[in-house]
Amino acid sequence: MDAFKISKSEIPFGSDKEYHVFLSFRGPDVRNTLVGHLYEALTVAGLNVFVDSHKLEKGEIIGLSLERAVENSSIRIPIFSQGYADSAWCLKEAAAILETPSKIIPLFYDVDPTDVRYPLNDSSPYKQAFLRHYGHPDRYQEKEIDGWKHALEEICSHSGWSRDITGG
């Protein structure tokens, strides 16, 4: 995973930040593959990395803990995968990533950046997930879902990593 070599001196962190890096990802897609390698590489470099499975305390309110972790991170790496938009938690994290100024480095894992930027395009693997979210007005307000779409568009305007892991 040489592409993920990052030294502590490259991270623009302030003294008030608890974490150097916050990783946002859809667990079933990448937790035991990419995220494991990335987490190891970053921690070996001496960085304090927030990954929900390692840092959430039992009994904590998940939403508040994630929001606090996003706010208390100097760099945020959303890892967009095929199933990222299926998770309202992931989309909420994406929106929270934009709320506080920090460095954002998107990582596109087996998904095209254009499909993430425009989730309602017919070619986007996110289209069906967004239509499901819109179809549940009892759970999510249209304004909130529109905010998620805006967050994806803005995050995709940042330079990041994109790699087709299918080998095609």
Q: Which residues are catalytic?
A: 93
End-to-end, the C-alpha distance of the chain in Å comes to 19
Distances (CA, A) of 27 to 3, 77, 103, 143, 167: 21, 14, 22, 26, 22
Buried b (16+ CB within 10 A) or exposed e, 62-72: eeeebbbbbbb
